[in-house]
Amino acid sequence: MPATTADRDLPQVQLPHSRLPPLAVLAQRLLGAVALVLFVAVIAWLQRDGYVDQTAKDGLSFIDALYYATVSTTTTGYGDVVPVSDAARLTTTLVFTPVRILFLILLVGTTVELLADRSRQAIRERYWRRHLNDHVIVCGFGTKGQAAVEVLRSQGVAAEQIVVIDPSQEALEHAREQRLAAIAGDASSSAVLRSASVEDARAVVVAPHRDDTAVLITLTARELNREATISAAVRETENVHLLREGGANSVITSSASAGRLLGLAAETPRSAEVLEDLLSIGRGLDLVERDVGPGEAGPRGQIVGNDLLVGVVRGGEMLRFDDPRTDELQVGDHLICLRSHRSEAA
């Protein structure tokens, strides 16, 4: 399928690659080819009495055997060294011929692979775009972006459903090492976000280094996708309202949040430990969101399992656990609960 004009206009996607870089793969194949030549040379030298060198009078030396292995394996075959005994001819037929074919496969395969790499990348990218849907886009793969991906993975989001956008090649290489698709560019650009199929994404994580960039990314992402959940991080509290007005569903103030934790730890360190526990997804205490389960509608005490109710989302409104309206749970309510992984293990 030929690439369309729209495909060529999009930034290139760097899909996850094998652990070995191309040069390492090439070196492996080169060593394999050399090993095949040495293998043939050793066998020819061990059977040197069965070969005749038309230009030598002292029999076949190891250098002669190495020369024969080189010209024979590469199919050059000058004819100055030839097998004359039945054993040497049988060895040439049953051993050297398969080795020669294997050598050609290595040589031709490597050449074709290098020439076809760009075409294969284009095919993989088109296949990836065709199957990308309901995914999460992470804009910025610094400390915040990497922590966000770690939480997403711990909550069961597959690596194939996460796309990273960052202008730094070092950050993108780190993302690809984690088996994530990566796109080089500025996420505030409509073209870059479209290359990540933002219109089909279910969530966008905005985690750049600058607040003004976060505002631009949020505005652009919301313009391209009216339904996606957008969570953004800013350094300064004064910029929170800009992100909310720009369409962010959640805004995290990184500097203020860190300061609150520091102040809390200074006076009530145990409380700070609980908050740190909540931020460590997958162990200890976690905040979970779920719908009202079978048999749970009615008095709040009927909640099944070890969940501790913290809040209820009803009709788009957030109700805290101490709101009288949460005394009776209704079908369609969305519950926010504390869950202990220790209880689950027990």
Residues 6+ apart with CB under 8 A from 87: 47, 50
Centroid of chain to Cα 35: 35
Strand 250-253 and strand 285-291: pairing?
unpaired
**Which range, of 15-29, 95-109, 120-134, 309-323, averages the lowest pLDDT?**
15-29
Give the CATH number of domain 5-131: 1.10.287.70
Please, where in the chain does CATH 3.30.70.1450 lie?
282-345
Whole-number average pLDDT of the chain: 81
- Per-residue model confidence (pLDDT) at position 1: 40
Average pLDDT over residues 236-250: 91
Overall residue count recorded for the chain in this entry: 346
Model confidence at 345: pLDDT above 50: no
Distance CA 230, CA 250 (A): 7
Confidence of residue 187 (pLDDT cuts 50, 70, 90): very high
CATH topology of domain 282-345: Alpha-Beta Plaits (3.30.70)
Distance CA 89, CA 248 (A): 77
The pLDDT tens digits for 149-186 are 988 888 889 998 999 999 998 998 899 889 899 999 99
| Best CATH choice for the domain 136-257 from the list 3.10.310.10, 3.40.50.720, 3.90.180.10, 1.10.357.10 | 3.40.50.720
Confidence of residue 221 (pLDDT cuts 50, 70, 90): very high
Structure-token pair, residue 162: 């996460």
